[in-house]
Every structure is written in structure tokens, then in C-alpha cells.
Amino acid sequence: MSDFELRMATTPLPEPPPGLRPAMLARAGRERRWRTVERAWRWTLVVAAGLLLVLNLHFSRVHEHEMIALIGPPGIERPLEAKVFVQSLEHRRHVLTAACSGDFPSALKEDLL
Amino acid sequence: MSEPDRELLGRLAHGDMEALGALYDRHARRVYHVLLARGLRDEEADEVLPEVFLALAECGRKLRGVEDALAYLLGIARHLAHRVRKQRPEGTPAAPEPESRDDDGTVAAMHLVRQLPVEQAEVVVLKVWHGFTFDEIGQVLAVSPNTAASRYRYGIEKLRAMWDEG
């Protein structure tokens, strides 16, 4: 170091005020406690939201089952009665054939409409 | 033997406020002088210094990966100092007028340092007043030792010129 640098080094610089340390530590403690409370609230909200979703899902299932019990299962879940279904198709084919050939009796026409 | 920074940071990551106090005792002067060297007025540095350490405490678990506490603190300090300078009203002087003349007739050193570009000022402060090597300065300021050395050389030349004038 040169003389100039040594001379500069012996010149005092301002020091941080002594009151800053305790004030800073007190504030850090307060903020830490506040962050802990905030984190607890945040997790409480997250758990509550999750619980709400699960309950919503559960009760929607319950409601669905109750509705099925009241009005019967949807068509796709009902067992197909093959004989009745084939008869219905045969009838419809007969009516359409009659309509195409011009032989369309009024009874069949009403039935079609 | 004093506890290494890394252990103090680990304790602080778990919310130990005594560790924050120990880090403050070890690094507050350096951080304070760098804040002043980066052009903050005394009252601004008094406000920003606690904020720097509070920001460190807020990092929580992220601190477990930090190797060098001073480098981390100076990173926060530089960021906050930049923000304070940007928020100053137009026309506010960056540095106050010379506060006093010491008994031996020298102008207050920090006033001269504040006249330097901030990159040079912080290197000069860490080297002259805190005895850091260029390697250490490079490490804490995230620059190469050669960059630190050249900033110091330019800074000290300007300082000498101002000293001779004043």
C-alpha cells in the first residue's frame, strides 16, 4: 500500500448507528412470527379448499345415485330386450318399404308420423 | 474460533434470530460502507442497512445453499441501493456536501469516495478500509480479480487527484 492508501485507511468512515441492531432484530422476530401465522393460514385455506372439493365430489355422487334410484338407470345401462328391439326394427322397415312403393295405407302413415 | 458464515446461515434458515445477530455483527460495517460508497446518503443507508439483513432473514430455506454470506448481503445491498437512488426526487444531490474536516485537515474520506463511480467506490472501500484482497473482492462482488484490481487502480488515482485538489 502506498502512503496515500495508508493515510486513507486511517481516516475513519461513518459507522452504522448502534440502535439499528436491536431494532432490526426485533422487527425480524415480529416478521418471522407473522410469516408463521400467515403460512398456517395459507395451509388451512389449502386444506379447506381440498376438503371442499372432495365433499363436493362425494355429494355429487350421492345425488347421482339418488336420481338413478328415482328415475331408473340411463338407457345405455338398461338391458336390451332383443326380441322387442327386432320387432320394432322390422315394423319400421315394413312402413318405409310401403312408403317407398306408394302403398301407404293411412293406418301405417299415422303410425309412421 | 467464530462460527463460519455457512453454519450461521443454516441456523438462520431454521429461524434462529441469534444467527442473524451474529451475521449483523460480522458484516454490518462492510455492508454499511458499501451502501455509502454506492452513493446513499447517511440517513438512507441507516434505513437500508436493516432492510438488507431482514431480506436475508426472509430468504428462509433458500439460505441453505448459500456459500458466502457477505456476497449474498452485498448483492441485496446493491439492489436496494439502486432502488433507493432511482426513487429519489429529481434534483436531489447524490452525495451531501463535505460534512467536516478532520483534525489533520483531511476532508471526510467518505465524501471523496462518494464522488467515484459506484463500481470503483465499493472496491476502494473494501480494499482500503476492510483489507480485502482482489480475489476476495472479486468473489463478493461477482467480478474477476483483474476487474477488481483495475477498478481499484482507477478509483485510487481519482481519489488521489481529488485529495490533492481538496
Q: How far apart are CA B64 and CA A93, in angstroms?
A: 80
**CB–CB of A24 and B50 under 8 A?**
yes
Q: Quick one: B79 and B116 in the same domain?
A: no
B84 and B131, same domain (yes or no): no
**Per-residue pLDDT at B96:** 58
- Is the domain of B83 the same as that of B133? no
Distance from CA of A4 to the nearest CA of B (A): 7
- Which of these three, B38, B72, B91, is where a domain ends? B91
Is there a single domain that holds both residue B110 and residue B62? no
pLDDT computed for residue B5 by the predictor: 85
Instruction: Flag whether pLDDT at B107 surpasses 80.
Output: no
Which of B36, B61, B91 terminates a domain? The answer is B91
B84 and B114 belong to one structural domain: no
- Kindly state whether residues A18 and A61 are assigned to the same domain: yes
Residues A51 and A86 in one domain: no
d(CA A5, CA A34): 47
Residue type, B159: L
Whether chain B has a CB inside 8 Å of the CB on A7: the answer is yes
Instruction: Answer yes or no: do A111 and A62 share one domain.
Output: no
Are the beta carbons of B109 and B33 closer than 8 angstroms? no
Whether B96 maps to a domain, the answer reads no
CB atoms within 10 A of CB B108: 19
Residue A107 predicted with pLDDT over 80: no
CATH of the domain at B72: 1.10.1740.10
* B101 DSSP β-pair partners: B107
> Structural domain of residue A38, as residue ranges?
1-74
User: A18 vs B104, which has greater pLDDT?
Assistant: A18
DSSP per residue, chain B: -PPPHHHHHHHHHTT-HHHHHHHHHHHHHHHHHHHHHTT--HHHHHHHHHHHHHHHHHTGGGGGG-S-HHHHHHHHHHHHHHHHHHHSPTT--SSPPP--B-TTSPBPHHHHHHTS-HHHHHHHIIIIIT---HHHHHHHHTS-HHHHHHHHHHHHHHHHHHHHH-
Residue B128 to residue A5, Cβ atoms within 8 A: yes
Interface mutation vs chain A, best among B8, B11, B14, B20, most A CBs within 10 Å: B20
Q: Return the number of CB contacts < 8 Å for A and B.
A: 74
Domain containing B60: what range? 1-91
- Tell me, yes or no, whether A66 and A85 share the same domain: no
Same domain as B77, residue B105: no
In this prediction, residues B36-40 reach a mean pLDDT of: 89
**Domain co-membership, B12 together with B44:** yes
Specify the CATH number for the domain of residue B130: 1.10.10.10
CA distance readout (Å), B32 to A14, B49, B66, B110: 9, 6, 21, 12
Residues A12 and A30 in one domain: yes
Could you say which of B54, B69, B91 is where a domain stops?
Answer: B91
Whole-model pTM: value is 0.71
Chain B residues within an 8 Å CB radius of A35: 58
**What pLDDT sits at residue B140?**
87
Split into its structural domains, chain B has a count of 2
Backbone angles phi, psi at B14, to 5 degrees: -95, 10
pLDDT digits (tens, 9 = 90+) for A2-18: 888 888 888 888 889 99
Residues 12-31 of A with CB under 8 A from B: 12-17, 20-21, 23-25, 27-29, 31
Q: Give the count of domains, chain A.
A: 2
Residues B143-154: what's their mean pLDDT?
94
Please give the pLDDT value at position B104.
47
Spell out which chain B residues touch chain A, with contact meaning CB-CB distance below 8 angstroms. Answer: 15, 17, 20-21, 24-25, 28-29, 32-33, 36, 42, 45-46, 49-50, 53-54, 57-58, 102, 106, 108-110, 125, 128-129, 156, 159-160, 163
Q: Nearest CA of chain B to the CA of A51: how many Å? A: 29
